Amino acid sequence: MFKCDCCGLCCRHITGIKMLAPFDDGTGVCRYLDRRNDLCTTYDTRPVICNIDAMYEIFFAHKMTREEFYAMNREACMRLKREHET
């Protein structure tokens, strides 16, 4: 399972991600993000694109190992943190 620290940055920066456009609250933040605690209010029924393990199984298992996919996602996470954290 992918280790997420629940910082909410990925949910606060969804502008330009076509599959997440329906969830954009108009400010680039997912409408399902609870801004008080940075947790998803629909976590158990979140879209596949928001579920790293489901995304791997459905779209990437035939292209790379799970470890490679996790590493790619960790790097994207770290990039968001470098760009947006103070």
List, as one string, the DSSP characters of 24-55: B-SSSSBTTEETTTTEETTGGG--GGG-HHHH
pLDDT at 52 over 90: yes
pLDDT at 61 over 60: yes
Write out the H or E segment, with its range, that includes residue 70: helix 66-84
Please state the rounded mean pLDDT for residues 42-67: 96
Residue 2 maps to a domain:
no
The range of the structural domain enclosing residue 75 comes to 9-84
Per-residue pLDDT tens over the stretch 31-41: 999 999 999 99
Domains in the chain, number = 1
Confidence of residue 1 (pLDDT cuts 50, 70, 90): confident
Residue 4 inside a domain? The answer is: no
Comparing CA positions, the residue from 69, 12, 51, 65 lying closest to residue 35 is: 12
Three-state DSSP state, 6 = coil
Whether residue 17 is contained in a domain is answered as: yes
Round the average pLDDT of the chain to a whole number and report it.
Answer: 94
Q: 33 forms bridges with which residues in the sheet? A: 40
Single pTM value for the model: 0.85
CA proximity to 32, closest of 53, 8, 7, 48: 8
